[in-house]
């Protein structure tokens, strides 16, 4: 397992009531992000809300932070991220915010300190695109959107 030090700053430096993100288990891939709210926010069924985390990160060049949903919120409440995964680029120095959407049947209350998403830091590969008239032929070809999951009798 690779270890990487990432600098973090609080968006409101005088407010240290929330702990910094942490891995909740030895094998966890993501750091839990918490809602940094002055007052609770209610997200009605079918609605979305941008929730601040109070965190600004300085990722090393060549890395990104992926903001991903928490499975428990999705299972129990139908709450997930609208743009998933969200990407935090290494040159972004604004506050990380999480765009939650409530696909559930009931309003969902977000309170200060609630774990709302997880952040996975990952290396990024930059590519150089080379235009080509022809690409190699594969067995799959241009089949997409569930194509490889079909059984031969379903075609």
CATH number of the domain that residue 29 is part of: 2.70.40.10
Residue 64 lies in a domain: yes
What does residue 105 show for φ and ψ, rounded to 5 degrees? -95, -20
103: alpha, beta or left, given left = phi > 0 and alpha = psi -120 to 50?
alpha
Q: What angle do CA 29, 116, 43 make, to 5 degrees?
A: 155
Residue 46 lies in a domain: yes
Residue 144 lies in a domain: no
Number of domains the chain contains = 1
Residue 40 lies in a domain: yes
Q: Are 35 and 18 in contact (CB under 8 A)?
A: no
Residue 154 lies in a domain: no
Range of the domain at 85: 7-126
Residue 131 lies in a domain: no
Each residue's pLDDT expressed in tens, for the chain with a length of 155 residues? 788 999 999 999 888 889 999 999 999 999 999 999 999 999 999 999 999 999 999 999 999 999 999 999 999 999 999 999 999 999 999 999 999 999 999 999 999 999 999 999 999 999 999 999 999 999 888 888 777 665 655 54
Element (H, E) at 74: helix 71-77
Residue 153 lies in a domain: no
Residue 26 lies in a domain: yes
């Amino acid at each position: 397992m690779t270890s990487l030090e990432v600098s973090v700053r609080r968006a409101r430096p005088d407010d240290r009531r929330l702990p910094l993100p942490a891995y909740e288990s030895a094998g966890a891939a993501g750091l839990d992000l918490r809602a940094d709210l002055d007052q609770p926010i209610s997200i009605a069924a079918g609605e979305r809300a941008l929730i601040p985390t109070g965190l600004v990160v300085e990722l090393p060049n060549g890395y990104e932070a992926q903001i991903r949903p928490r499975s428990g919120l999705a299972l129990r409440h139908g709450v997930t991220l609208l743009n998933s995964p969200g990407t935090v680029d290494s040159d972004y120095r604004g506050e990380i915010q999480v765009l939650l959407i409530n696909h559930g049947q009931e309003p969902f209350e977000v309170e200060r300190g609630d774990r709302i998403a997880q952040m996975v830091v990952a290396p990024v590969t930059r590519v150089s695109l080379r235009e080509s008239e022809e690409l190699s032929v594969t067995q799959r070809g241009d089949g997409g959107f569930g194509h490889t999951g079909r059984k031969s009798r379903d075609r």
